[in-house]
Amino acid sequence: MVTLRLEAGSQLPLATTAMGRAFLCGLSEEERNNLMDILRIYFGSDWAEIERGLDQAMQEYQKHGFCTAIGSWRHDVNAVAVPMQPVGGNNGLAFNCGGPAFLVSPHMLREDIGPRLLNLVHAVENEAEHS
């Protein structure tokens, strides 16, 4: 049996989770650069590896509209996330879906769940614009 219980408001790492990476991708360049400077200091000697993951996430986001985290937060968890900027809001959001690596493959995230999650976010954005 596998359980991963995260409640609304749970804190997750910004640099190693799909949700955190998507949040970063959804920020303005200035906001993202400011947070990257903080992360660079925080991670110190581990920064090169963290930066590679963040660069990959940004490339993935630019190409597909979503970011994945394949075992980067926890080796046994894979996830995908899409950023969203609320209408008139200053705080970004990220929609996320993930699960145990033995059930949720990278292929499944990239070819099925990621595109579905992106469609969901577009539908929420469209609904928010019209309400």
pLDDT at 1 over 60: no
Give dist(CA 99, CA 102) in Å, integer. 8
Average pLDDT over residues 110-128: 94
Q: What is the mean pLDDT of residues 27-55?
A: 94
Higher confidence at residue 8 or residue 121?
A: 121
Distance CA 110, CA 126 (A): 23
Measured between alpha carbons, how far is residue 131 from residues 13, 67, 117, 125, 128 in Å? Answer: 33, 28, 21, 10, 5
Vertex 120: Cα angle to 130 and 129 (nearest 5): 15
Backbone phi, psi, residue 36, to 5°: -65, -40
73-88 residue pLDDT tens: 888 899 999 999 877 6
**What pLDDT, on a 0 to 100 scale, did the predictor assign at position 17?**
94
Q: What is the pTM of this model?
A: 0.88
Query: Is residue 78 within 8 Å of residue 109, measured between CB atoms?
Result: yes
